[in-house]
């Protein structure tokens, strides 16, 4: 993606927090449209869920608070294989809790956003909206932070109609589901395609 250098005394940073499964590639068109609509005057970062994807060989940019600002829109998407995801789940279960994800975003903001001359705009989709709310609480004063929520899921997901149906099954079987996904991920596409077509058939 192209990079533009602009001279600004104060700048706006949009950080997009995702819904599940937390892969930034699903949001590429949205990010590009938003970047264009904002007339390329905002820094836009899309941030996936910790432990769900790793951008290989990418160093996330630090925007400095001086007049010369590297103005970039970054889309990082390199999903982890299901096997790697299963290993991370077993070794670092804290990454797969809401609190762990919020702490990851705190670390990100504290590391990459300068302390002065920044207005932060958090955009959250689904569970990313809950992450936004927690970040606004922490950064409202320091960064004049604001949140924009897209189809928000803010609390008590297990008490929603789908949550009540799925939690008794998926709650105790999370590790089994991850290992099953890692097995399916290894199967040839020629085997999986007929299964997907069958599952998605019109009734």
Do 46 and 76 touch, CB atoms closer than 8 A?
yes
What pLDDT does residue 140 have? 93
pTM: 0.62
56-89 b/e with 16+ CB inside 10 Å = b?
Answer: eeeeeeebeeeeebebbbbbbeebbebeebbebb
Encode pLDDT of 158-198 as tens digits: 677 777 787 777 677 777 767 777 777 777 878 877 877 78
Encode pLDDT of 73-113 as tens digits: 333 334 444 455 555 556 666 767 888 889 989 998 998 88
Nearest to 122 by CA among 148, 97, 96: 148
Do 112 and 59 touch, CB atoms closer than 8 A?
no
**Residue 50 CA neighbour count, 13 Å, CB half:** 18
Task: Tell me the C-alpha distance between 28 and 46, whole Å.
Answer: 9
Ranking 30-34, 91-95, 110-114, 120-124 by mean pLDDT, the lowest is 91-95
What pLDDT does residue 155 have? 63
Q: In what order do the strands lie in the sheet with 42-47?
A: 3-7, 68-74, 42-47, 11-17, 118-125, 146-150
Residues in the chain: 203
């Amino acid at each position: 993606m192209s990079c533009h250098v602009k001279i600004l005394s104060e700048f706006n940073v949009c950080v997009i927090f995702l819904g599940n499964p937390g892969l930034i590639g699903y949001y590429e068109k949205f990010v590009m449209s938003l970047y264009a609509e904002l007339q390329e005057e905002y820094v836009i970062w899309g941030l996936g869920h910790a432990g769900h994807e790793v951008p290989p060989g990418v160093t996330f940019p630090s925007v400095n608070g001086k007049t010369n600002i590297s103005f970039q829109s970054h889309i990082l998407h390199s999903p982890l294989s299901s096997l790697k995801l299963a290993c991370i789940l077993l070794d670092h279960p804290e990454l797969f809790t809401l609190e762990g994800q919020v702490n990851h975003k705190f670390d990100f903001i504290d590391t990459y956003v300068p302390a002065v001359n920044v207005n932060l705009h958090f955009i959250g989709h689904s569970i990313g909206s809950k992450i936004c709310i927690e970040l606004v609480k922490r950064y409202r004063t320091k960064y004049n932070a604001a949140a924009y929520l897209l189809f928000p899921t803010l609390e008590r997901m297990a008490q929603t109609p789908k949550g009540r149906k799925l939690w008794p099954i998926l709650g105790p079987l999370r590790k089994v589901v991850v290992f099953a996904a890692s097995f399916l991920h290894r199967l040839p596409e020629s085997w999986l395609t007929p299964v997907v077509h069958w599952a998605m058939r019109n009734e």
